[in-house]
Amino acid sequence: MKDFIFLFTTGEAKYKQIYQQIKTLIEQRNLKSNDCLPSIRKLADTLQVSRNTTLTAYEQLVAEGYIRGEGRKGYFVNTLEMIFSQEEMMPYQPAQKVRQASIVDFRAGSVDQQYFPLKTWRQMANQILQLKDSYVYGDSFGEQRLKEQLVHYLLQARGVKINEEDIIIGSSTQQLLVYLGFLLKEDFDSIIVENPGYIGAREAFQLHNFTMEPLAVNENGTQLQQLAHLQSRLIYVTPSHHFPYGVSMSIQQRQALIHWAKEVDGFIIEDDYDSEFRYAQQPFPALASLDKSHVIYVGTFSKSFLPGIRLSYMVLPKSLIGRYKRYFAHFEQNASSLHQLTMASFMEKGEWTRHIKRMRLIYKHKMSFLVETLKKQFGDHMTIVGEHSGLYVLIKFHTHHTEQQLIQSALEYGVKVYPTSPYFLQQPSHEPIIQLGFSNLKLDEIQLGMQLLKKAWCTN
Amino acid sequence: MKDFIFLFTTGEAKYKQIYQQIKTLIEQRNLKSNDCLPSIRKLADTLQVSRNTTLTAYEQLVAEGYIRGEGRKGYFVNTLEMIFSQEEMMPYQPAQKVRQASIVDFRAGSVDQQYFPLKTWRQMANQILQLKDSYVYGDSFGEQRLKEQLVHYLLQARGVKINEEDIIIGSSTQQLLVYLGFLLKEDFDSIIVENPGYIGAREAFQLHNFTMEPLAVNENGTQLQQLAHLQSRLIYVTPSHHFPYGVSMSIQQRQALIHWAKEVDGFIIEDDYDSEFRYAQQPFPALASLDKSHVIYVGTFSKSFLPGIRLSYMVLPKSLIGRYKRYFAHFEQNASSLHQLTMASFMEKGEWTRHIKRMRLIYKHKMSFLVETLKKQFGDHMTIVGEHSGLYVLIKFHTHHTEQQLIQSALEYGVKVYPTSPYFLQQPSHEPIIQLGFSNLKLDEIQLGMQLLKKAWCTN
């Protein structure tokens, strides 16, 4: 029988300290296999604690397998293989937050905080937390209430007639594409993607080892005539607002695309990520409004409402929806059911339509201000691309500088601007194109940014 | 030049009605290719609207490609292929909600609504909505603030020492396993899974076409000696609280498992889904506390806090984390950043620990009440399994009835109870085992449920 010396510290329960110290003694071989431990009573007396305390400590050790009780004979140390990891523990270090202090950040993908319907959203979110439905696992494919609203919204705003059962809710376009990819790769091994185009979608297809065939897009539109020379029967497009060029497909192009999908018996994945923000005209009807059997429609609340709520949806053709639901029958939903229900109640009350209407005006105003200021500052030195819709604009610079040089010199003046070359499948050879997002900037910030960019880009 | 007859309806903007009607005329071939449209002025005069109204309508039609302007000659209808979908539109029908009216539902997977810290959570969630960070895309792999809290929590509660960079936040265990699977399948093509075991994990591995080797588990524990006969170098386990049997691995078993992983140079996926709720002793230290280089640790807030917020996390060994981050470099986070930040602030304030402590007591109380009542009602007719931890209990019935018969006769008395046979890889041949979840039931509901079950099961 060994002697123990315990030093109790304050704070932690005594039984826990006893448990911890005996455990350490065993692990460090100070107590060896089959060593006998002091009895519950003996240890309690020695340490001046209650027997209940020593009993609890021993029970924990027994439960975890460190020691065993042998009835009246007492407690003994078990045989342990000494394989505790010898790996050096890294000390805990909060990540170094070295942030390049930027004065104006033209990052795309955020939303306007100033005009966010904070009060209404908060109120509805709080109400949702009182529902019984918020405390259980929801429907795997999305909350019924939200799907009902989406049916109405898609019909009204995008001309798409669907049933609730055709909708799959998810946390992001990428997540939905990754999941869908498991089905698609059974019938397809390659896909046509826009070049340039949205990297997120390409990465999702890449995960499934799809071969990618590029389809050229430029400021004048998608070069659909190239389709005739491509092998794939699957295509991913952004017809309402091409990412990043901002061009839209005409009705002829839409029809040609659907015609193609029927001919090859394939599918069009229509990513309708920000169709809400079209300034010159009404949003164009979706491809899915022209044909439902060959179009997979994908939409999101990230761009038009709030990226942080992670809420997207997809509408599958009849030939896929049943299979998808069988594939993912035991999967849980990825989007928060609280956010789903809050959004449903936001839409039910008409707040969503109001919000989009209001934001369209606000963003339109910012867009024209940005474009005007750009023209004033840079005149003929650049061409503006995609000013009629969306939450960013592209500027094509007539300069011998590279994209990287422009970004770097802007940064030296405290302005963050963004490249477009990553969107191209091959390194583009044309003049540099810079992306400027403006959604979360105020007018005076845009103004200031422009003045700084003028200095950055026109002094050398 | 055609004549138009317009009937304006109230409600919608006039330009939109003009646009819509001309579009329909074109689509229905009442206006044919190259037909000339009335001039802006002529149409405005005829319809008694402003020229701006007709101009806007025409501009929308031009933008969408239905018509073209030819300068002073006027507007002409474009050539359209008539491929509009002829598919019959299904009428909008709200889904039939035929719910079997149940009086008491012993469903596992919900949480106690009564003791949810509604006020605190609400307050913190509301504060988060005012942060600038809530209006932009967050960190792809999770919010820094939450990761910092998880580092502390995992060390304190589970003995796991990690750095923030090793954590990947996701929306659910399944989602994390699906994403991780893309990496793992490069080095592994089969995986050992517990039998019976959690279906969700199996389904995630199934998606990646992993071959599954069953490892038997029963009321007495995991049959680790079977490992010697298995080929795979990858294993998925629930060591702290086996799903569904509720057994825990002893320290010897944990060490043996890690020893095995080192021998075969493989990985253990440790799903620690509800380690918080252990009633007899403190939670056992995680496998990941013994070895970090061969253990992939997965945890979730769904079971211990709220399923609806869809928030889980995984800790990857050094050999995987870099690769994972490269693989998913352009992927967006799947969990809501609002919920992540709210949870972080909940943990920072100590509310999380308080909540878990409180809930452990409450659930412990419910568990003993359920077990007592079960014993009183059914005595020797059944054996109770897994009563020392978790939010459900299993009852093994000594009866000639099948699982399905027991579920059905319970339902006839308005009580929903759940099967365990789906958790088995092969149809089990033993006596029926029923799962009873109790987390969101009040004591009197449990009591009532037991009385009804007694009637349902003991009268025939």
Partner residue opposite A334 with nearest CB, options B109, B148, B310:
B310
pLDDT tens-digit map of B367-422: 999 999 999 999 899 999 999 999 999 999 998 899 999 999 999 999 999 999 99
Summarize pLDDT for A86-116 with one digit per residue, the tens: 333 333 333 444 444 678 999 988 889 889 9
Residue A90 pLDDT: 36
* Complex ipTM value: 0.82
Q: Which of A130-144, B172-186, B290-304 has the lowest mean pLDDT?
A: A130-144
Query: For residues B322, B324, B327 and B331, what is the CA-based torsion angle, rounded to 10 degrees?
Result: -110
pLDDT for position B84: 39
What's the gap between Cα B368 and its chain centre? 29
CATH class of B104-109+354-458: alpha beta
Instruction: Give the per-residue pLDDT at B99.
Output: 46
Residue B278 has pLDDT above 50, yes or no: yes
CB contact under 8 A, B85 and A327: no
A199 pLDDT band, cuts 50/70/90, is: very high
Test B64 with A178 for CB contact under 8 angstroms: no
Average pLDDT score over chain A: 88
A116-349 belongs to CATH 3.40.50.360: no
Look at phi and psi of residue B253 and say left if phi exceeds 0, alpha if psi is from -120 to 50, else beta: alpha
Q: How confident is the model at residue B80 (pLDDT cuts 50, 70, 90)?
A: low
Q: How far is B311 from chain A (nearest CA, A)?
A: 8
| Predicted local distance difference test score (pLDDT) of residue B241 | 92
- Asked if the model's pLDDT at residue A10 lies above 80, the reply is no
Overall average pLDDT of the B51-71 stretch: 84
- The pLDDT of residue A7 is 65
Q: Which residue does chain B place closest to A330, by CA atoms? A: B200
pTM of the model: 0.82
pLDDT for the residue B289:
93
Strands A221-222, A211-218: pairing kind: antiparallel
CB-based contact B327 A207, cutoff 8 Å: yes
What per-residue confidence (pLDDT) applies to B202?
95
**Minimum mean pLDDT among A44-48, B225-229, B312-316, B421-425: which range?**
A44-48
* The predicted structure's pLDDT at residue A459: 60
Helix (H, G, I), strand (E, B) or coil at B153: helix
Q: B441: which residues sit within 8 A by CB, 6+ positions away?
A: B104, B105, B106, B366, B449
CA distance B189 to B212: 9
Mark yes or no for CB contact A84/B290 under 8 Å: yes
State yes or no: pLDDT of A68 exceeds 60.
Answer: yes
**Amino acid type, B366:** K
Residue range A312-334: average pLDDT?
Answer: 95
Give the lowest-confidence range in A285-299, B24-38, B227-241, B347-361.
B24-38
Judged by DSSP in three states, B184 sits in helix
Using a CB-CB cut-off of 8 Å, the residues of chain B touching A292 are 85, 87
User: Cα-flanking dihedrals φ and ψ of residue B258, to 5°?
Assistant: -70, -40
Q: Which residue has the tokens 């030939």?
A: A319
Angle subtended at Cα B28 by Cα B25 and Cα B34, rounded to the nearest 5 degrees: 65
| Mean pLDDT computed over A6-28 | 78
Rounded CA-CA distance A419/A233 in Å is 31
Counting one residue from chain A and one from chain B, the pairs whose CB atoms sit within 8 A come to 266
The total of other beta-carbon atoms located within 10 Å of residue A225's CB is 10
Yes or no, beta carbons of B292 and A85 under 8 Å apart: yes
Average pLDDT over residues B35-48: 85
Q: How far apart are CA A4 and CA A10, in angstroms?
A: 19
Min distance B397 CA to chain A CA atoms (Å): 26
> What is the tens place of the pLDDT at every residue in B200-228?
999 999 999 999 999 999 989 999 999 99
- Domain boundaries defined on chain A: 14-89, 104-109+354-458, 116-349
Which contiguous run of DSSP H or E holds residue A445?
helix A443-458
Same CATH fold, B116-349 and B104-109+354-458?
A: no
User: Which stretches within A237-392 are classed as H helix?
Assistant: 251-264, 318-327, 337-348, 351-378
The alpha-carbon gap from A369 to the nearest alpha carbon of chain B, in Å, equals: 22
Chain position carrying tokens 């000494």: A82
- Residues A23 and A66: beta-carbon distance below 8 Å: yes
pLDDT confidence band for A3 (50 / 70 / 90)? low
Residue B83's pLDDT band, with cuts at 50, 70 and 90, is very low
d(CA A87, nearest CA chain B) in Å: 8
Q: Under an 8 A CB cutoff, do A331 and B200 touch?
A: yes
For B433-451, write each residue's pLDDT tens digit: 999 999 999 999 999 999 9
Task: Measure A381 CA to nearest chain B CA, in Å.
Answer: 28
Residue B89 has pLDDT above 60, yes or no: no
In sign, the C-alpha dihedral spanning A99, A100, A104, A110 is negative
When pLDDT is cut at 50, 70 and 90, the band that residue A56 belongs to is confident
* pLDDT one-digit tens code per residue, A404-453: 999 999 999 999 999 999 999 887 778 899 999 999 999 999 999 999 99
Number of helices and strands (H, E) in chain B? 13, 16
pLDDT at B101: 62
Distance (Å, whole) CA A444 – CA B53: 33
Q: What confidence tens digit (pLDDT) does each residue in B148-199 have?
A: 999 999 998 899 999 999 999 999 999 999 999 999 999 999 999 999 999 9
Burial class (CB in 10 A: 0-12, 13-18, 19+), A105: middle
Residue B261 structure tokens: 């992983």
A281 and B59: CB-CB below 8 Å? Answer: yes
Whether CATH 1.10.10.10 fits B14-89: yes
d(CA A84, CA A88): 12
A281–B64 CB contact, under 8 Å: yes
pLDDT tens for B254-266 read 999 999 999 999 9
Q: How confident is the model over A239-291, as pLDDT tens digits?
A: 999 999 999 999 999 999 999 999 999 999 999 998 888 887 777 789 999 99
Cβ-nearest to A80 among B199, B248, B251 = B251
Q: Is the peptide bond before A285 cis (omega within 30 degrees of 0)?
A: no
DSSP string, B358-371: HHHHHHHHHHHHHH
Average pLDDT (A138-160) is: 94
Q: Where are the alpha helices (DSSP H) in B228-315?
A: 251-264
Q: How far apart are CA A237 and CA A260, in angstroms?
A: 13
> DSSP character for B381?
G
Question: What is the CB neighbour count within 10 angstroms for residue B348?
Answer: 15
Residue A116 DSSP symbol = S
Indicate the residue of A59, A292, A332 with minimum beta-carbon distance to B200.
A332
